[in-house]
Structure 1
Amino acid sequence: MDLPRIFSIRESSHRIHNPLTDDQLATLGRALHLAPESRVLDLASGSGELLCTWARDHRITGTGVDISTVFTERARARAAELGVSDRVGFVHGDAGGHVSDEPVDVAACIGATWIAGGPSGTVELLARSVRPGGLLLIGEPYWRRLPPDQESVEACHAADRSDFLLLPELIEQFTGLSYDVVEMVLADQASWDRYRAAQWLNLRRWLDRNPADELAAEVRAELDGAAANYTRYEREYLGWGVFALMRR
């Protein structure tokens, strides 16, 4: 059970596996006014930056669950680096069925709502772990503006225009599930640039080191079109944000 190798190659230099910067992740932590000893569950926790930095900065405790062996080991190393291994732990496993043994104050899934079939299913999954009055954190793409044709849709990693919503419609989806949106931090084009452009350098450096690897042709093909595709389509049409929700 693991992610395909291409994911680890593409994001080998990333500590945050989504288009938030360090400052934006820190802004989110401050905006939530987390009390010391708040318990956080992070599903699809990646390299653990949210839990590790919030444990350092806000004295939270928590658990991360991720299917990637590479990212889980990085998360444990990051916790040790920041001196918070006694406050946060990381489990290699399928986050799609994970429910906390005890209610948590914050349950998060930042950028991987596919683990439960989309935003609605992920809200339902996270709600099984959070205490009454606690927070859900959902990271999700949305359309900055509607793409004009199917080519543009597919270039933004969607099969159909209906796969993503415009920002007001996404918020209305959450409210339709009987949740108030009480905070949000949105990626901007500059933070998207840092996320995507760093991937190109990761791909190129991996290719230079591994020209005979069985994945080399796949990595070469991705790198050939990555920058043009991003600047032509994703940068113009695709937004991304983290939304804090509270049950009504």
Structure 2
Amino acid sequence: MDLPRSFTIRESSHRICNPFTSDKLALLGRAISPAPGTRMLDLGCGKGEMLCTWARDHGLTGTGVDLSTVFIDAARKRAAELDVADQVEFVHADASGHVADEPVGIAACVGATWIGSGVGGTVDLLRHSLAPGGMMLIGEPYWRREPEDQRVVEGCQMARRDDLLTLPDLLEQFGGLGCDVVEMVLADQDSWDRYVSAQWLNVRRWLDTNPDDELADQMRAELTSAPVQYVGYQREYLGWGVFVLMDR
């Protein structure tokens, strides 16, 4: 049970495995201003940067769950580096069935709503761990611009136009799920650039040191096409944000 190696190759230098910068992650923490001692569950936690830095900056405690052994190992090392290993723990598991042992004040799934087969299922999963009055964090892409045709949809690595919503429609969906949207922090094109273009350098460095690996041809083809595809489609059409929800 693990993520494909291609994921960990692309994001080998990343601390944040989504289009957020450290500044935006810190801004989100300040925006919701959790009380010291608040317990948090982060499903699909990646390398644990949100949980670790918020434990340091806000005194949180909590648990991160992720499918990747590489990411979980990085998260544990980050917790030790920031001297918060006694506040947080990281579990290698399929987050799609994970419910906290005790209710938490913050339940998060930032960029991995596939664990609940979409936004609706993920909100329902997080509710199983959430204390009354707690907050849910959902990280989700959306259409920054309406795609004109199927060519644009596929250029953004989507199968169908309906795979994503526009930002107003996404917020309306949250309301339809019985949630108030109480905060949001959105990625911008610069933070997208930092996330995606760093992947190209990671892939190139990996190719230089692993030319005979069984994935080399696949990763070479990806590096050849990815920059043009990104600036032609994803950079212009895709948005991404973290939305803070509270049950009505």
Which band: TM-score by shorter chain?
over 0.9
Map 1:29-178 onto structure 2 (within 5 A). Answer: 29-178=29-178
CA distances 1:185-236 after superposition (whole Å, capped 9, x unpaired): 0000000000000000000000000000000000001001010000000000
1:89 partner SS: strand
Equivalent in the alignment of 1:201: 201
TM-score, with structure 1 as normaliser: 1.00
Which range moves more in the overlay, 149-158 or 33-42? 149-158
Amino acid across the alignment from 2:139:
G
Runs (4+) of structure 1 moved beyond 2 Å? none
CA distance in 2 between counterparts of 1:207 and 1:91 reads 30
Map 1:228-243 onto structure 2 (within 5 A). Answer: 228-243=228-243
2:90 partner SS: strand
Which range moves more in the overlay, 151-160 or 212-221? 151-160
Map 1:204-215 onto structure 2 (within 5 A). Answer: 204-215=204-215
Does 2:185 match 1:185? yes
Amino acid across the alignment from 2:151:
E
Amino acid across the alignment from 1:9:
I
Q: Report the CA distance between 1:47 and its aligned residue.
A: 0.3
2:205 partner SS: helix
Q: Report the CA distance between 1:157 and its aligned residue.
A: 1.7
CA distance in 2 between counterparts of 1:49 and 1:168 reads 28
Amino acid across the alignment from 1:151:
R
CA distances 1:40-71 after superposition (whole Å, capped 9, x unpaired): 00000000000000000000001000000000
Ranges in structure 2 where 5+ consecutive residues have no aligned partner: none
Q: Report the CA distance between 1:158 and its aligned residue.
A: 1.1
CA distance in 1 between counterparts of 2:83 and 2:35 reads 19
CA distance in 1 between counterparts of 2:67 and 2:178 reads 30
Equivalent in the alignment of 1:225: 225
Q: Report the CA distance between 1:33 and its aligned residue.
A: 1.2
TM-score, with structure 2 as normaliser: 1.00
Equivalent in the alignment of 1:25: 25
Amino acid across the alignment from 2:193:
D
1:172 partner SS: helix
CA distances 1:76-120 after superposition (whole Å, capped 9, x unpaired): 000000000000000000000000010000000000000110000
Amino acid across the alignment from 2:23:
D
CA distances 1:171-190 after superposition (whole Å, capped 9, x unpaired): 00000111000000000000
CA distance in 1 between counterparts of 2:80 and 2:148 reads 47
CA distances 1:142-186 after superposition (whole Å, capped 9, x unpaired): 000111111110111211000100000000000011100000000
Ranges in structure 1 where 5+ consecutive residues have no aligned partner: none
CA distance in 2 between counterparts of 1:182 and 1:209 reads 46
